[in-house]
Amino acid sequence: MLMAEIATQFLACLTPEQRQKAAYEFGDPLRRRWTYVPAPRPGASLLGLSREARKAAHRLLATALSRHAFAQVVTIMALEEVLDLDEGGRRGRHSDDYHLAIFGRPGAEEWSWRFEGHHVSITATIANGRVEVAPLFLGAHPAGVRHGETAVVRPLPLEEELARALVSELSPALRDQAVIADVAPSDILTGTSAVTAALEPPGVRGGSLASAQRDLLGRLLDVYLERLAPSLRDPHDTAAFSFAWAGPISAGAGHYYRIQGPGLLIEYDNTQDAADHAHSVIRRPGAEFGAGPLAAHLSGEA
């Protein structure tokens, strides 16, 4: 498997000290602890790695992502320098403050890796040849950098625009179902907690939408599911998903939405820093960190 080959190459490029920071046992509790805020985290930092090791880290990340999602990630990382400039360097942010951790031996029946830093957290778990990528978090602060009215850099545009287009297209009756609160929460509701059940209320059901509205929901779903490399995507029935929105519909106002369906929860929030600070995440309720593939492997179904 290409993932295992590149992960092995990454570890081989490290110094003994870097390898000690990068490699963990598969059963280490840190495998299930993730965060998207600045904090100490496991793994070898990109800062100080050799060119070969950095390239291997980026190539491993790219095995889990589509080309455009990989571009989103490296853009988000680069935005750390813009944020540091905006803050006058007070927090010492930098675009190399991202870490790669390997849990278990690459190529074993069970192993995992996580690439993580501020506004990026991507965990891939491999069990008996099956790959699950979850949680998958992407955020951006600033959410966009503009020259006048033109966006120069904006890593998550469709995540916002398609959702607003969808809620704007709803009839008054359907919008009453979809809009669950007049004020958006300050962040995604699940945070980094384990997710085992759907969030309530669900909002409007995809099966209740008109054809054009359901198409918008399907396109929004695809924005998230197509973050994954093509071989890692699951088929989905848009009618089985629900959509919920909180906050004003007008552009520039703080807002939140979520999409839920079989085995999937998507959350998006942009309220902080005058709605210029976006968070988005793909979760797999009850099957985080490879729980789905691992359970199937243990039961003999895989």
Q: pLDDT per residue over 114-160, tens digit each? A: 999 999 999 999 998 899 999 999 999 999 999 999 999 999 999 99
Q: Are residues 51 and 10 in the same domain?
A: yes
Give the integer Cα–Cα distance in Å for 181 and 200: 12
Domain final position from 112, 127, 142: 127
Q: Are residues 84 and 191 in the same domain?
A: no
Q: pLDDT per residue over 274-286, tens digit each? A: 999 999 999 999 9
Residue 161 pLDDT greater than 50, yes or no: yes
Tell me, yes or no, whether 133 lies in a domain: no
- What is the share, in percent, of the chain residues with pLDDT greater than 70? 96
Smallest CA-to-CA distance from 165 within 119, 235, 223 is with 223
Q: Are residues 156 and 280 in the same domain?
A: yes
Are the C-beta atoms of 114 and 101 separated by less than 8 Å?
A: yes
Instruction: Provide the residue range defining the domain that includes 38.
Output: 2-127
Give the integer Cα–Cα distance in Å for 86 and 265: 33
Q: Are residues 80 and 163 in the same domain?
A: no
Provide the number of structural domains found in the chain. 2
| Other CB atoms within 10 Å distance of the CB of residue 300 | 7
Q: Which pLDDT belongs to residue 294?
A: 54
Q: Are residues 118 and 16 in the same domain?
A: yes
Tell me, yes or no, whether 298 lies in a domain: no
Give the integer Cα–Cα distance in Å for 149 and 131: 41
pLDDT band at 66 (very low <50, low <70, confident <90, very high): very high
Terminal alpha carbon distance of the chain = 17
Give the integer Cα–Cα distance in Å for 127 and 244: 33
Residue 297 pLDDT greater than 60, yes or no: no
Prior bond of 248 cis (ω within 30°): no
Q: pLDDT per residue over 205-242, tens digit each? A: 999 999 999 999 999 999 999 999 999 998 999 999 99
What sign has the CA pseudo-torsion 219, 224, 226, 232? negative
Q: Are residues 103 and 163 in the same domain?
A: no
Tell me, yes or no, whether 145 lies in a domain: no
Model pTM?
0.95
Residue 243 CB burial class (10 angstroms; 0-12, 13-18, ≥19): buried
